[in-house]
């Protein structure tokens, strides 16, 4: 491994007790040790324990620092709700289960991760907590969300402030975390303590019961082989009794995160199937609402294993639909049609058929890698037919029809029918407004409005779209994506200050996500606020180091500021990600050109044009290289190619300049003249250059007229040169 002054450590050993001796020997700074085995508290077991240990002390003195990240903190450690003031809720977070029609993106947990890392980096400055060491124990058994957090924490934590020690057995099942450990930590492997092997039969019955109980009260996380052997040797009745004792103890703690970890673990082992189904449903519903999709899949599968369709159709459906929803969110679509075929074969109920048909429609139009929009439309039409046949509550039937027609609107949009999509969502909004009470299904009403605004944007009906965005934000003011999308529209129509205001709102209301910083940086850059644009690109690349467009844009700003060294580094990183990206290759060509590495510059522009033969800027800049190398005919050819793609003042000016160098005065005059058509022409300089060409071609009076126009703009750097040429060319001149 390449040493980079990294002080994070990865301590590897089969026995937790041996690993503990190793890291406890470090005494250079305060240490916090957290247990990460997923059996304890499920998603974010280790991260949540860290928050529960650290935040109460911090909050006493620096509550404002914590409250900036309250969404992240309370998502991971819900027990802290009794301590921390919460930020405003959204209609999504407030929706009752029957009205929950929108679920979080799978990327929400990554946003939570980066918000928490920002928090830890803030509180470990010397003015607050100061440098600390954090030990994450049992990491080989952590859940996927702890693994996601740790992989990014290892990369982003400032080692001078936060030393991270990962303690585990060698096998890390999470590839992202394993890669981060290899890259950002120094590995220490330790030998196991030599213990005398004691067969379990050499223990008395009482000793075996005691060992088994210790294993159970560790929530199945103990790595003591004697405890595990004892657990397997005692009677099922004794095991169940110990699990029940531990379960009651855990319930008495009144800590919610136990309900997605050790409480289901013990409940499943006491032999009470109805209670097991109940706690698994509770854990599954919570995790799907939070966007913890790996855990949702786990709880769903565990629930399905206890039931069958004939015995319990309702709960089998609940486990199955959350399994498919979570699989779709994670992009794992192969099993979904099979599961819904299972549903359709085991019930004739319109409600189940409606929900299954809708889900399959969304699979084919949204989630499946190879989209099948026609197939999706067939399924959504089936869903609408079943919705219209629903018995009972008229309001529910109306809502279900509108909900499914909103799905049809999405498919029509994908099929290239935006006007029909607009009609469907507008009619749906009006129907719910007419048929439901004002406080019913507010979430889905906001979704319909938002979808309407998005369709209006696609139709370039921007003023109407802004009005609808205003309306939806009034209904759901704390949902960050609404502010983000309104900001995007303001940016599109050139109202950059308003765009930035909306991006600021989105940032304030949400854990950090890359798109908002990328788009705000672009707005700052267009306004000429270079330092703020660079700051946003720095943060963007910190949270998403493989953001190729972010690397390109930052490189461009650095290049424009004369920082060729760091611009080159960004381009190199981008090209590692996308070796044939024509814009990155073009940026490399510009850097080489700026440093007068003409051969390397030419090579980069050639590669850019091999990747994209219509890249105007590559032709334009390669022409400059040819000019510098004295290959003027090739420069003219490239500028002609560029002009065939896009006409602007700069291209005509540049080609005129080359014609000047070739002594082709008439061609140069024509191109300088054409450049005056464009708004971005530099009139003062162009009059000067065209004047020279007129004079050189013998049309002295026209040349003098151009120079008079040139001088009318004010001071000129060419005064002496013009004076000398006028003397030479005027009547009676020398």
Q: How far apart are CA 186 and CA 154, in angstroms?
A: 11
207 three-state secondary structure: helix
What is the band of 334 on the pLDDT scale with cuts at 50, 70, 90? very high
646 three-state secondary structure: coil
Q: What's the pLDDT score for residue 731?
A: 52
Q: How far apart are CA 567 and CA 604, in angstroms?
A: 15
Q: Within its chain, how far is the Cα of 271 from the centroid?
A: 42
Q: How far apart are CA 54 and CA 120, in angstroms?
A: 10
Q: Within its chain, how far is the Cα of 543 from the centroid?
A: 9
Tell me: pLDDT of 2 over 60.
no
Q: What's the pLDDT score for residue 721?
A: 84
Q: What's the pLDDT score for residue 5?
A: 53
In SS3 terms, 674-691 reads as: HHCCCCCCCHHHHHHHHH
Mean pLDDT on 680-691: 95
Q: What's the pLDDT score for residue 196?
A: 47
**Contact at 8 Å (CB) between 271 and 85?**
no
718 three-state secondary structure: coil
Report the chain's mean pLDDT, rounded to a whole number.
93
List the structure tokens of 301: 């599968």
Helical segments of 25-135, H only: 38-41, 45-61, 63-67, 70-76, 91-94, 108-123
Which are the contacts of 281, defined by CB distance < 8 A and separation ≥ 6? 303, 315, 318, 319
Structurally, at CATH architecture level, domain 9-194 sits in 3-Layer(aba) Sandwich (3.40)
Q: What is the pLDDT of residues 545-594, one digit of tens each?
A: 999 999 999 999 999 999 999 999 999 999 999 999 999 999 999 999 99
Phi, psi of 32 (to 5 degrees): -120, 130
Q: Within its chain, how far is the Cα of 226 from the centroid?
A: 45
CA dihedral 688, 694, 698, 703 (to 10 degrees): -50
Quickly tell me which residue has 């992989």 as its tokens. 151
Q: Taking the domains of the chain in order of start, what are their residue ranges?
A: 9-194, 200-271, 658-734
Q: What's the pLDDT score for residue 732?
A: 44
Q: Pick 658-734's CATH classification: 1.25.40, 1.10.287, 2.60.120, 1.10.3470.
A: 1.25.40
> How much is the CA Rg of the chain, to the nearest whole Å?
33
117 three-state secondary structure: helix
Residue 167 β-bridge partners = 11
Residue 662 β-bridge partners = none
Q: What's the pLDDT score for residue 3?
A: 39
Mean pLDDT on 293-297: 98
Q: What is the pLDDT of residues 518-545, one digit of tens each?
A: 999 999 999 999 999 999 999 999 999 9
**Closest-CA residue to 457 (of 413, 424, 498, 496):** 413
Ordered DSSP codes for 450-483: HHHHHHHHHTT-HHHHHHHHHHHHHHSTT-HHHH
CA dihedral 131, 132, 133, 135 (to 10 degrees): -150
What is the band of 43 on the pLDDT scale with cuts at 50, 70, 90? very high
What is the band of 728 on the pLDDT scale with cuts at 50, 70, 90? confident
**Contact at 8 Å (CB) between 390 and 351?**
yes
Q: What is the pLDDT of residues 601-648, one digit of tens each?
A: 999 999 999 999 999 999 999 999 999 999 999 999 999 999 999 999
Q: How far apart are CA 309 and CA 317, in angstroms?
A: 8
406 three-state secondary structure: helix
Q: How far apart are CA 574 and CA 580, in angstroms?
A: 10
pLDDT higher for 160 or 552? 552
Mean pLDDT on 262-281: 97
Which are the contacts of 346, defined by CB distance < 8 A and separation ≥ 6? 309, 310, 313, 316
- Indicate if 658-734 has the same CATH topology as 9-194: no
CA dihedral 389, 394, 398, 401 (to 10 degrees): -20
**Contact at 8 Å (CB) between 193 and 18?**
yes
pLDDT higher for 31 or 724? 31
Q: What's the pLDDT score for residue 734?
A: 33
List the structure tokens of 147: 């693994």
Whole-number Cα distances in Å, 117 to 75, 175, 340: 14, 20, 39
Q: What is the pLDDT of residues 225-254, one digit of tens each?
A: 999 999 999 999 999 999 999 999 999 999
Q: How far apart are CA 626 and CA 599, in angstroms?
A: 10
Least confident of 56-70, 459-473, 524-538, 543-557: 56-70
Tell me: pLDDT of 420 over 90.
yes
CA dihedral 547, 552, 557, 563 (to 10 degrees): 100
Quickly tell me which residue has 């990865």 as its tokens. 10
Tell me: pLDDT of 4 over 50.
no
């Amino acid at each position: 491994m390449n040493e980079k002054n990294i002080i994070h450590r990865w301590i590897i050993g089969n026995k937790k007790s041996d690993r503990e001796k190793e890291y406890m020997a470090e005494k250079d700074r305060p240490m916090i040790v957290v247990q990460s085995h997923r059996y304890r508290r499920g998603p974010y077991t280790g991260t949540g324990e860290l928050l529960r240990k650290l935040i109460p002390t911090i909050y006493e003195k620096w509550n404002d620092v914590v409250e900036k990240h309250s969404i992240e903190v309370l998502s991971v450690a819900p027990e802290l709700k009794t301590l921390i003031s919460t930020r405003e809720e959204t209609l999504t977070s407030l929706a009752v289960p029957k009205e929950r029609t929108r679920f979080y993106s799978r990327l929400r947990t990554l946003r939570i991760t980066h918000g928490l890392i920002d928090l830890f980096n803030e509180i470990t400055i010397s003015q607050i907590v100061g440098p600390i060491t954090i030990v994450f124990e049992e990491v080989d058994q952590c859940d996927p969300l702890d693994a996601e957090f740790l992989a990014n924490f290892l990369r982003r934590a400032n080692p001078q402030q936060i030393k991270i020690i990962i303690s585990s057995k060698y096998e890390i099942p999470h590839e992202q975390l394993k890669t981060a450990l290899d890259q950002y930590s120094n590995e220490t492997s330790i030998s196991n303590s030599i213990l005398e092997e004691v067969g379990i039969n050499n223990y008395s019955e009482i000793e075996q019961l005691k060992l088994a109980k210790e294993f159970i009260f560790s929530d199945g996380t103990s790595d003591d082989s004697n405890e595990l052997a004892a657990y397997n040797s005692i009677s099922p009745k004794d095991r169940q009794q110990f699990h029940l004792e531990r379960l009651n103890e855990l319930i008495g703690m009144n800590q919610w995160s136990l309900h997605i970890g050790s409480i289901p673990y013990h409940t499943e082992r006491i032999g009470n199937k109805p209670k097991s189904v109940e706690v698994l449903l509770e854990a599954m519903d919570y995790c799907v609402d939070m966007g913890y999709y790996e855990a949702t899949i786990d709880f769903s599968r565990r629930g399905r294993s206890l039931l069958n369709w004939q015995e319990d159709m309702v709960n089998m459906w609940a486990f199955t639909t959350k399994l498919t929803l979570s699989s779709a969110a994670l992009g794992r679509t192969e099993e979904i049609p099979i599961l819904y075929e299972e549903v359709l074969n085991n019930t004739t109920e319109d409600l189940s058929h409606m929900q299954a048909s809708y889900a399959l429609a969304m699979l084919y139009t949204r989630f499946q890698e190879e989209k099948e929009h026609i197939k999706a439309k067939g399924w959504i039409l089936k869903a609408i037919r079943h919705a219209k046949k629903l018995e009972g509550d008229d309001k529910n039937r109306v809502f279900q029809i509108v909900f499914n027609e909103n799905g049809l609107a999405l498919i029509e949009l994908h099929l290239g029918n935006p006007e029909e999509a607009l009609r469907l969502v507008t009619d749906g909004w009006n129907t719910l407004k007419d048929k439901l009470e004002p406080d019913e299904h507010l979430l889905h009403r906001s979704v319909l409005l938002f979808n309407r605004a998005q369709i209006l944007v696609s139709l370039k009906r921007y003023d109407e779209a802004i009005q609808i965005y205003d309306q939806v934000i009034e209904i759901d003011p704390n949902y960050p994506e609404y502010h983000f999308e309104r900001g995007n529209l303001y940016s599109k129509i050139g109202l950059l200050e308003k765009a930035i205001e909306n991006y600021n709102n989105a940032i304030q209301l949400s854990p950090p996500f890359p798109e908002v910083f990328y788009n705000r940086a672009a707005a700052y850059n267009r306004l000429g606020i270079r330092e703020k644009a660079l700051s946003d690109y720095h943060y963007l690349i910190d949270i998403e180091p493989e953001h190729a467009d972010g690397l390109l844009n930052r490189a461009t700003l650095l290049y424009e500021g004369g920082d060729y060294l760091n611009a080159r580094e960004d381009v190199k990183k981008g090209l590692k990600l996308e070796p044939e990206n024509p814009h990155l290759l073009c940026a490399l060509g510009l850097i080489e050109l700026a440093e007068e590495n003409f051969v390397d510059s030419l090579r980069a522009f050639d590669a850019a044009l091999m990747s994209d033969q219509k890249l105007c800027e590559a032709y334009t800049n390669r022409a400059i290289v040819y000019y510098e190398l004295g290959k003027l005919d090739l420069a003219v050819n490239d500028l002609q190619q560029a002009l065939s793609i896009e006409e602007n003042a700069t291209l005509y000016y540049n080609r005129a300049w080359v014609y000047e160098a070739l002594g082709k005065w008439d061609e140069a005059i024509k191109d300088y003249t054409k450049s005056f058509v464009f708004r971005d022409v530099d009139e003062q300089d162009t009059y000067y250059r065209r004047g020279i060409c007129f004079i050189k071609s013998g049309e002295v009076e026209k040349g003098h007229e151009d120079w008079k126009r040139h001088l009318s703009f004010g001071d000129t750097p060419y005064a002496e040169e013009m004076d000398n040429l006028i003397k030479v060319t005027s009547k009676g001149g020398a």
